[in-house]
Chains A and B, each alone.
Chain A
Amino acid sequence: MNLLHQIFVEPFLFMGEAPDLLLQVLWEGFVSGILYALIALGFVLIFKASGVFNFAQGIMVVFAALTLVGFYAMGVPAILSLALAIGVMFLLAVTVERVVLRPLVNQPDIILFMATFGITYFLIGFGELIFGGEPKQMITSQLMLPEGRTNLEIAGGFVTIQHIDIAAAAIAVVMIATLGIFFSKTRIGRALRAVADSHKAALSVGISLNQIWVTVWFAAGIVALVTGIMWGARSDVSFALQIIAFKALPVLILGGFTSIPGAIVGGLIIGFGEKIAEFYWGPLVGGGIESWFAYIIALIFLVFRPQGLFGEKIIERI
């Protein structure tokens, strides 16, 4: 009885008692959700266009951020570092297409999936070899991103909002809109959608798969760079960040592997869900449930809706 009270009554009472904390929790959930969604977006882009479940997306986030900071540490001006980092992501896309995707074309999905593990390990080693393993600070101010925070006085308390978080949300929105326009309006975007529907059909109307692959990996690289800057500004840039990339996987399950709106909604659900659960219910089991909460949500969700939030019901044919 007491337990039921603790589970079903007290957290809600507490939400009412301290609305400032509730708002803060929601804001934190929102910001994490946006960042999860950004990582998931990179996954979705690549999965849509090439059917590759790109495990390396998380590492690409760290690698991109590390490249940016690394160039800056070598004395390159911030803006030029950014340009160089974008260039490196393009090189990465070309290399991955040449060295990994092209020789493995027509292999089963699991082989391509494993190949992205290979990319992951390679990038970890390569990144640390070039830029060193110690954590680095993101060059937030040099990139003219806002710093500092605002304390909003609400209901007898305050809500702290980091300016960088606002910027992250804004940039995420802009980026998603840009990608949307890119997909629907440009020639290459149309080709991309065609490839997503059917590789063979796209090939037969003269779309170059290689070009498409470079494009999506590059796009995913840009998404990774932006995500890396945002995460890096919240903590340090180091390979310890890669673990956060795993959080994008339950997001994908909720949203479906091929849906961009799904990635965003899934990201927000996971972001809100885990912050609220950790803050209000976590103490009941000693806290730390954030490390698995998202996966359990995804697991339960899968049992009832295997195709994800936005996926279409699969009709199996034989």
Chain B
Amino acid sequence: MIYREAGQFKSNYAADMAVFPLRQDRIGIFVIILLAYSMAYFGSTFMLQAVLIPFLIFALAAIGLNMLVGYTGLLSLGTGAFMGVGAYACYKLMTIFPGVNVIVWIFVSGFFAAGIGVIFGLPSLRIKGFYLAVATLAAQFFLQWTFNRVPWLYNYNVSGAIEAPRRTLFDVHIVGAAATPQARYIVVLTIVILLTWIASNIVHGRIGRQWMAIRDMDIAAELMGIRPFKAKLMAFAVSSYYCGVAGAMMVFLWYGGAEYNVFNIEQSFLILFMVIIGGLGSLIGSFFGAALIFMLPIAMGAFLPAIFAPLGIRVGAETIEHLRFMILGAMIIFFLIVEPHGLARLWQIVKQKLRVWPFPY
């Protein structure tokens, strides 16, 4: 009864096709966005810097990967490398054209990632499934090698790392060591909201339908006039764009600098976990997945000593780390068994329950 659509009539198709057709959803999303922005003032530095900023960035990368894996059904293990392309492109652009605002370059760097993504997406026209997944590993290892081996990419720095130079937006430092977590959080949040809105528009429109058609039954899609060539490459491009922007944000709005091995295969796996645990083909699921996978280790670092200490067992940092691995592994299996459709499906079930509450049906 809390959450009911009765009495909300749509008088035209446009209203019926809105992304949030229900009033409650629209209010809810508005409240969430408001809360998110207010966190900039209420959240502690640790909360912003070590929890919320990375969560948003990972969520964006997960959205990007979800468009490829969840919506188009193309399995990719090269996400980390595509994020790296965005980060290195952004670094080069920022240092070559220091006069242009960094926000512009963060958005532009995504296009470089998209271009590279399309190149490594070409084999997807002939191969599917696990074969494609292994092919994307080529992107992962080759690009990582390139980040390391082409000194031009990191401006011949002695350290071999890319460092975030100081940059401002409206005279407020947002990139570099002088930027406060609050400023960076607001920038990250705004970019993520904007790109999530665009992603939602894309997946609800013609392109999204074409992707899902390819995913569900590629042959039938082709026989209906959807060109798999275009649709798959478009998916690679858009997905890599998102990953690239996420990568650029990761380095310049979160870490403040990075070595090539930040974009390693572990990163790719982590984002894939987020997508799967969150729910394939669900944007909201990408947020859930990012939250769970990213925050779980942080939570366990706080949790486990507290659990074991009263029992008189001293838990070392490495034991926590080992347990973290074990629990993460066990959780992945657990979630896959109880809900292979991910957290997004649970969210739907909750909404359904709320709709009929307090009655069971």
Q: Which residues of A contact B (CB under 8 A)?
A: 53, 99-100, 103-104, 107-111, 113-115, 117-126, 128-129, 133, 246, 249-250, 252-253, 257, 285-286, 288-289, 291-292, 295-296, 298-299, 302-303, 306, 316, 318
- Measured between C-beta atoms, what is the minimum distance from B177 to chain A in Å? 32
Q: How far is the CA of A292 from the CA of B280 in the complex (A)?
A: 29
Q: Which residue of A lies closest to B148 (CB)?
A: A288
Interface centre among B137, B265, B318, B336 (most CB of A within 10 A): B336
- Measured between C-beta atoms, what is the minimum distance from B316 to chain A in Å? 11
Q: How far is the CA of A114 from the CA of B277 in the complex (A)?
A: 9
B330 within 8 A of A: yes
B152 within 8 A of A: no
B123 within 8 A of A: yes
- Measured between C-beta atoms, what is the minimum distance from A21 to chain B in Å? 24
Q: Mark B113-151, 1 if CB is under 8 A from A, else 0.
A: 000000000110011011100110110111011001100
* Contact, CB under 8 Å: B135 / A114: no
Q: How far is the CA of A289 from the CA of B146 in the complex (A)?
A: 10
Q: How far is the CA of A125 from the CA of B296 in the complex (A)?
A: 15
Option from B135, B137, B220, B333 in Cβ contact (under 8 Å) with A119: B333
Interface centre among B130, B318, B333 (most CB of A within 10 A): B333
B276 within 8 A of A: yes
* Contact, CB under 8 Å: B326 / A253: no
Classify the interface of chain A: helix, strand, loop or mixed.
helix
B323 within 8 A of A: yes
B95 within 8 A of A: no
Q: Which residues of B contact A124 (CB under 8 A)?
A: 325, 329
* Contact, CB under 8 Å: A122 / B326: yes
* Contact, CB under 8 Å: B336 / A128: no
Given contacts A103-B337, A107-B340, A288-B149, contact A125 B126 (CB under 8 A): no
B255 within 8 A of A: no
B75 within 8 A of A: yes
* Contact, CB under 8 Å: A295 / B142: yes
Q: How far is the CA of A108 from the CA of B336 in the complex (A)?
A: 11
* Contact, CB under 8 Å: B269 / A126: no
* Contact, CB under 8 Å: B273 / A246: no
Q: Which residues of B contact A119 (CB under 8 A)?
A: 329, 333
* Contact, CB under 8 Å: A122 / B330: yes
Assuming A110-B75, A125-B322, what are 19 further A-B pairs, CB within 8 angstroms? A107-B340, A109-B129, A111-B340, A114-B273, A114-B336, A118-B333, A118-B336, A119-B333, A122-B329, A125-B323, A125-B325, A126-B325, A253-B131, A291-B144, A295-B134, A295-B138, A299-B138, A306-B131, A318-B219
Q: Which residues of A contact B138 (CB under 8 A)?
A: 250, 292, 295-296, 298-299
Given contacts A110-B75, A117-B269, A122-B329, contact A299 B135 (CB under 8 A): yes
Q: Which residues of A contact B130 (CB under 8 A)?
A: 53, 109, 113, 257
* Contact, CB under 8 Å: B318 / A126: no
* Contact, CB under 8 Å: A292 / B141: yes
B195 within 8 A of A: no
- Measured between C-beta atoms, what is the minimum distance from B179 to chain A in Å? 34
- Measured between C-beta atoms, what is the minimum distance from A32 to chain B in Å? 16
* Contact, CB under 8 Å: A303 / B123: yes
Q: Which residues of A contact B201 (CB under 8 A)?
A: none
User: What 4 A-B pairs have minimum CB-CB distances, sorted nearest first?
Assistant: A125-B325, A122-B329, A121-B329, A118-B332
Given contacts A103-B337, A118-B336, contact A123 B329 (CB under 8 A): yes
